[in-house]
Structure 1
Amino acid sequence: MSSAHREASRLLKESSLKKLLALLFSAGSLVSVAETVPSMAEIPVSAEKPYVFFYHGAIAEGTRENPVSEKYGEYDFRGLKRALDSDDNYLIAEIREKNVSVEKHAKKLAEVVSMLLRKGVPAENISLVGFSRGGGIVATAAGQLDNQDIRYVLLASCPKKTDTPHWPPFRGRLLSMYEKDDLLAGSCAFLTEGPRTVNEFKEIALESGLGHGEFYRPQERWLEPVRAWISPGN
C-alpha cells in the first residue's frame, strides 16, 4: 500500500472514531436529562432519589411551545426544565390544562406526593417548586399535605395584598423569592404568621428590574439558591 493510501486510511479511521465519540457524547447528553418524568402517572418510586415537582406560570397552560408575553417576552419552559433537571433527581414538570382550578391541580399534586410518602420516599427528598399561579397550586397542596419536612419554593407567587390568597396554613421548609419591581407578587412573610406556620423560612428579594419576568427564563441568581434549597443534603 502506498503512503498516500495509508494516510487516507488513517484519516478515515480517525473520522469514524470522531463520529463514534460524538454519538456516545450525544447519548450521554440524553442520559443527563433522562430523569425527567413524562407525566404524573409514570412516576417511579425510589427511597434514595430526590423528587422535584415544578409548576409553571399561568402563561404556559395549555401550550406546546414556549409562549411569549407581550410584556415579559418568552417564557422559556423548556430551558427552565433543563436548568432544574439533574442526574441526581426525578423532575416532574407537566404542562397543565388551561382553565382548570388551582384547587383541582393542588389536590392531584397532594395525592401524588402522599402516594410517594406512603411508599417510603422520605419527605425531605420531596421538593415542590412553583412560579406565579404554579406557586399558588404548590401552596394549596402544601396545606393538604401538612408535612414539616417537605421543601417548598415559591417564585413570585404571593400577591402584594396578603388577604388575596385563600391558602390554608401549612408546615414545611419554605424558600420565597420575588423581584422588587414586580407589580403582581411580593413577600410571602405572611405565611410565617398565625397558629400554624412554616417551620423554616427564607426569603430573597431580587433587584434585577425585570419584575414578574425575572422567572420567565433560567437565571443563575435565583437558580443557585433554589438548587441549594431543594438539595436533601442541606
Structure 2
Amino acid sequence: MLKRITFCLAVSTIASLPFLMMPELAKAGSHQDRGFPEEIDPSKNYAFYLHGAGIENKGPSDDNKYYDILEALEAKGFVVIGEVREAVPMGKSVKKVAKQARRLLNAGVPAGNILISGHSRGGKISMRVSTILRKPKVRYAILASCGVKKGHTSYNNYQKFLAGRASKMKGVFLSMWEKDDYTVGPCDAAMNLAGVETFENKILTVGGGHKLFYKPVPSWINPLVEFALRK
C-alpha cells in the first residue's frame, strides 16, 4: 500500500522545535563551490544541494543566496556537495550527480546517509537522479519542483517526465513548497507512477512563495535537516 504523508507547517510550528534552531552561519569568505570531497568518510552525512535555473543564468546574488544555503547545511554537520552550474542540458547535470553519488556508495557510505536535494530546476534534477541510482534508502528533497502547473514554462517537460522516467524513481522522498507558490504542488503523480511506498508533502505557510528557498531560513532548512537525519 502506498503511504502519503502531507504536512502543513506554519512558522509557529518550526519555532517550537528548539533542537532544530538555526546556528550562526559560517563566516564571510566561504562563499564558494563545494566540490566532491577528496576523502570520503563513510561515517559522515552527505548532502548534495542543487540550485534553480535563475543561478544558472545570473549566478548567486543578494536575493538568491546559494552559498549561504551551502554554509547552513555545513553548519548542521553535513559534508556538502554543491556547485554553481552553467545552463547545460539537464541530462548532463543528472549524470554528474548520479556518478558522484555512486562514488559515495562504492566508498561505503550508507545510502541513508546521502541526501540529494534541490530547488526548482535543482529539484527536477534530483528526481531524475533517483531514476538512475534506484537505491531505495537514498533520500531526496524536492523543493518547489513537483506538480508543475499548466502555463508554467516547464509544464511540458514535467509532463514528459511523468510519461517517461517518473516510473523509475526510487528512494525516500520529501516534497516541500510554500502555499503562495502557484506554479508547483504535490509530488503525488510522480510518486504513484513509481510506486514509492512512503513520501512526504510539506506545505509551508510562512509566505515568500517560490523565492522562500532563495535563502536558508529555518522554515525550510529545519524540516530538510530533520528529514535527512531521520532514522
Please, what TM-score do these two structures have when normalized by structure 2? 0.75
Alpha-carbon offset, residue 34 of structure 1: 11
Aligned to 1:75: 64
In the superposition, relative to structure 1, how do residues 173 and 149 fare at CA in structure 2: closer, same or farther (>3 Å)?
Answer: same
Distance in 1 (alpha carbons) for counterparts of 2:104 and 2:132: 15
Alpha-carbon offset, residue 37 of structure 1: 9.2
Distance in 2 (alpha carbons) for counterparts of 1:80 and 1:222: 11
Alpha-carbon offset, residue 64 of structure 1: 4.8
Instruction: Check whether the contact 1:55–1:130 (CA below 8 A) recurs between aligned residues.
Output: yes
Distance in 2 (alpha carbons) for counterparts of 1:152 and 1:174: 5
> Equivalent residue of 1:229, what SS?
helix
Aligned to 1:151: 139
Give runs of aligned pairs for residues 27-106 of structure 1, distance below 5 A: 38-61=33-56, 63-66=58-61, 74-86=63-75, 88-98=77-87, 100-106=88-94
Matched, 1:179 2:178: yes
Aligned to 1:115: 103
Aligned to 2:6: none
> Equivalent residue of 2:168, what SS?
coil
Q: How many residues align?
A: 197
- Higher RCO, 1 vs 2 (CA within 8 Å, ≥6 residues apart): 2
2:159 corresponds to which of 160, 163, 167:
163
Distance in 2 (alpha carbons) for counterparts of 1:83 and 1:30: 6
Instruction: Check whether the contact 1:148–1:199 (CA below 8 A) recurs between aligned residues.
Output: no
Distance in 2 (alpha carbons) for counterparts of 1:192 and 1:50: 25
Deviation track 1:29-50 (CA, whole Å, cap 9, x = no partner) reads 9999999995545442111011
Distance in 2 (alpha carbons) for counterparts of 1:32 and 1:75: 18
Instruction: Check whether the contact 2:143–2:176 (CA below 8 A) recurs between aligned residues.
Output: yes
Instruction: Check whether the contact 1:128–1:138 (CA below 8 A) recurs between aligned residues.
Output: yes
In the superposition, relative to structure 1, how do residues 32 and 65 fare at CA in structure 2: closer, same or farther (>3 Å)?
Answer: closer
Instruction: Check whether the contact 1:53–1:91 (CA below 8 A) recurs between aligned residues.
Output: yes
RMSD: 2.8
Alpha-carbon offset, residue 118 of structure 1: 1.3
Distance in 2 (alpha carbons) for counterparts of 1:218 and 1:61: 19
Distance in 2 (alpha carbons) for counterparts of 1:53 and 1:35: 17
* Higher radius of gyration, 1 or 2: 1
2:118 corresponds to which of 125, 130, 135:
130
Instruction: Check whether the contact 1:123–1:150 (CA below 8 A) recurs between aligned residues.
Output: yes
In the superposition, relative to structure 1, how do residues 209 and 65 fare at CA in structure 2: closer, same or farther (>3 Å)?
Answer: closer
Alpha-carbon offset, residue 208 of structure 1: 2.8
* AA at the equivalent of 1:93: G
* AA at the equivalent of 1:228: E
Aligned to 1:211: 209
Deviation track 1:6-53 (CA, whole Å, cap 9, x = no partner) reads xxxxxxxxxxxxxxxxxxxxxxx9999999995545442111011000
Gap regions ≥5 residues in structure 2: 1-23, 151-157
In the superposition, relative to structure 1, how do residues 214 and 34 fare at CA in structure 2: closer, same or farther (>3 Å)?
Answer: closer
Distance in 2 (alpha carbons) for counterparts of 1:176 and 1:199: 14
Instruction: Check whether the contact 2:176–2:204 (CA below 8 A) recurs between aligned residues.
Output: yes
Gap regions ≥5 residues in structure 1: 1-28, 68-73
